Amino acid sequence: MSWADRLVMAVGRRPLGLSVDWSAIEARMGTALPADYKEFCEIFGSGYFSDYLTVYDSVGGEDSRLADVYEGNWQIAEEDEAGRYYYAPYGLFRPNSQGGLLQWGTSVQGDEFAWLADSSMPPESWPVLARDDAQHSQHFAMSMSEFVYRLLADRSFEGFAGFGATEEAPDFTPYS
């Protein structure tokens, strides 16, 4: 059972089965994306978890909030000197480069979730990097969907920035 399937069971939702044009999205971004992320998007679509976490998704077709945020982050970094330093010490991911942050989610508390992406490694091996609003960061050697599942549903997981699984079951609320 995949981590995305475990998350489906934890939140009690039915998979949407969205058809996403991953070839177009990956061409737009200049990189392949992790398979578990693609599965996650096809299952959940657009929404948020437990009034806390939003994963930048696709609602089908060529639409991609992940690509929109990726392009927006680069625009900020290129136009504003402070924007460049915001992503230190990793920098932003650029295809065919040494590596950097490729943000895939955010929280209502200002936490940011990203892959520490590296073109020399398969996307499935990219670790998760979580940063709080004070830019303290923590690495997690796991996939995006495993991280989301553990953060929301695994009470033995340490959590991040004061957020973690509780006695309450996690939930998912679709955006309308």
The domain that holds 103 is classified in CATH as 3.40.1580.10
Looking at the domain assignment, is residue 149 inside a domain? Answer: yes
Read off the pLDDT of each residue in 39-62 and give the average, rounded to a whole number: 89
Looking at the domain assignment, is residue 130 inside a domain? Answer: yes
pLDDT value at position 157?
87
Read off the pLDDT of each residue in 31-60 and give the average, rounded to a whole number: 92
Looking at the domain assignment, is residue 82 inside a domain? Answer: yes
Looking at the domain assignment, is residue 81 inside a domain? Answer: yes
Looking at the domain assignment, is residue 127 inside a domain? Answer: yes
DSSP collapsed to 3 states, the chain: CCHHHHHHHHHCCCCCCCCECHHHHHHHHCCCCCHHHHHHHHHHCCEEECCCEEECCCCCECCCHHHHHHHHHHHHHHHCHHHHHHCCCCCECCCCCCCEEEEEEEECCCCEEEEEECCCCCHHHCCEEEECCCCCEEEECCCHHHHHHHHHHCCCCCCECCECCCCCCCCEEECC
pLDDT value at position 68?
92
* Residue numbers of the domain that contains 77: 3-155
| pLDDT tops 80 at residue 59 | no
pLDDT value at position 74?
87
Looking at the domain assignment, is residue 176 inside a domain? Answer: no
Domain count, the chain: 1
